[in-house]
Structure 1
Amino acid sequence: MTKLPATDTTFHGIIPGKAATLLGRISLDVVFGSSGNFRRERLDFKVVDWPSQYHVVLSRVALARFMAVPHYAYLKLKMPGPNGVITVSGNFTRSDSCDKEFHKISESFGMHEEFEQLKASTGFEQTPVSKKPAYQSEFNKKADTKEVQVHPTDPSKTAVISTSLPPA
């Protein structure tokens, strides 16, 4: 870890609402194909410390370096090789398992920090104020909704919306 060159790059969009800091970067030779038909390119990778089932994510730059074309529906990656097309095939069962695992992991991203911030800013001596009235009557379509024209020139095109919505 100490040999990783530092980087000031951050990832956005991995942890909702937060930036993920990097541990560093590394350059590695990446090879696709077999001994008779292969491609090798040196790619730069950003190193992060967060739980994931993925070991590496290939960027658009990496795909462009290999002149690779991904087809996500068929889990195929195709690129030109010296002796024809190199095809890398995925596994649907493994892909589905990875997606489910990543969903579980991604739900926990940033949750601990958010929980600690909420704990620090919450006064436990007062009960929370409810935004709902103590008694809420049953839904009444005539009283609780209104009809709004949605097409500027055709008054017959309308939508029924709640009367309690704030104006746009």
Structure 2
Amino acid sequence: MANYLPVALADSARSWLHVLPRGTIGSWAELHEHLIANFQGTFEWPGTQFDLYNIIQKPGESLQDYIRRFSKQRNKISDITDDVIIAAFTEGVRHELLVGKFGRKPPRTVKQMIEKAKKYAKAEDAVTASKQSGGTWKPKKDAPATGGSGSTNHKDRKLLDPVVRNVKLRRSLIDGGSGLNILFAKTLDDTQIPRTELKPSSAPFHGVILRLSSPLGQITLPVTFGTRENFRTENICFEVADFETAYHAILGRPALAKFMVVPHYTYMMMKMPGPRGVISLRSDIKQAVTCDKESCEMAQTREITLAREEIRLAASAATEGEVPAPKISKSGESDAKTKKIPLDPSDPTKTAVIGAELDCK
């Protein structure tokens, strides 16, 4: 059996055996002793919880790299509780937003902690990718300057085509200045979503049309961005508005925050973290300008209509409240049956007009 020992060993162990002086090993016990003495220094001992506490996020290290390094050390520890793992992770991480999130709502399990950390890591990667891509852009020589008179800067007119409950809405306005997500009633009907799904809403809004408007209700719908290979879906709460615009829907800050969107105004793009990397969405500038012009025309028409309606109502109210004046005859006397009575016998000019049918008393 000893003759097969060199065949059973590999790499460094076989080299070690070949360089041993002849007569060093005389029994299996001596082989065991020499083998342990030589290789025990190269053995990787199981980790402890103290090794996990030593995993600290380095300056400049991405959150994704820290999660990977922490998980690798965690897998080397056989007996450790979730509480210790969570404590070690929160002690070593240096991502301010994630630390704040854990401070407000501590994770209960390691699974919850890692899932939340990965979401923040994807958002961080999206921001990094956006900064890297933004540094290489240079304007064309014949491109007009942004801002000022005659500017063609349409950075606030991003138009995308998300899928809302399996229907692609090609005219969805992305408005980072809006505090609401708005779905228009016509879009709701066109997508054959029953209005019975609406929930009551008592939050009026303004700024979309001239007057204060109250929504028909609220509805929560799945909204999807991306491609078949890499997409992301979130449930978005919409206020359903009962008036027409050039858009199918308006996605405001609540939706952008839920998707963890990073806007890139130079390229008219948005980026968000996806399950298979960063999702990049590009706006159709021509379509955005077309929709913007249509919206201006519709707003102008609506303003004229409202002004005419106000004039009509004012004229109608004035007509209803007007008291018709008595008709005066050519002789200057009223057609009504009246008579003059003297007030001062010494001054005939001082008279009063009373009804002719009144009693003299």
Question: What is the TM-score of this pair, normalised by structure 1?
Answer: 0.65
2:229 matched to 1:11?
no
Report the count of equivalent residues: 123
Choose which of 23, 30, 36 in structure 1 pairs with 2:216. Answer: 23
- Going from structure 1 to structure 2, the CA distance change for 1:111 and 1:8 (only over 3 Å counts) comes to farther
Shift, 1:8, TM fit: 0.8
Contact kept, 8 Å, 1:15 with 1:110, in 2: the verdict is no
Shift, 1:86, TM fit: 0.2
- Aligned equivalent of 2:330: none
SS of 2:197 mapped into structure 1: coil
**Partner amino acid, structure 1, of 2:310:** Q
Worse overlay, 26-35 or 110-119: 110-119
- Going from structure 1 to structure 2, the CA distance change for 1:90 and 1:19 (only over 3 Å counts) comes to same
Superposed, which structure 2 residues align to 1:6-155 within 5 Å? 6-16=200-210, 18-122=211-315
CA displacement 1:105-131 (0-9 Å, x = unmatched): 11133543432222232469xxxxxxx
Question: What is the TM-score of this pair, normalised by structure 2?
Answer: 0.32
- Going from structure 1 to structure 2, the CA distance change for 1:72 and 1:99 (only over 3 Å counts) comes to farther
User: How far apart in 2 are the matches of 1:78 and 1:29?
Assistant: 19
* Higher-Rg member (1/2): 2
- Aligned equivalent of 1:162: none
Which is helix-richer, 1 or 2? 2
Identity %: 38
Shift, 1:21, TM fit: 1.6
Instruction: Show structure 1 runs of 5+ residues with no match.
Output: 125-168
Contact kept, 8 Å, 2:268 with 2:283, in 1: the verdict is yes
Shift, 1:72, TM fit: 4.0
User: How far apart in 1 are the matches of 2:286 and 2:310?
Assistant: 39
CA-atom RMSD, angstroms?
A: 2.0
User: How far apart in 2 are the matches of 1:3 and 1:84?
Assistant: 34
SS of 2:233 mapped into structure 1: strand
**Partner amino acid, structure 1, of 2:299:** S
**Partner amino acid, structure 1, of 2:244:** P
- Going from structure 1 to structure 2, the CA distance change for 1:74 and 1:109 (only over 3 Å counts) comes to farther
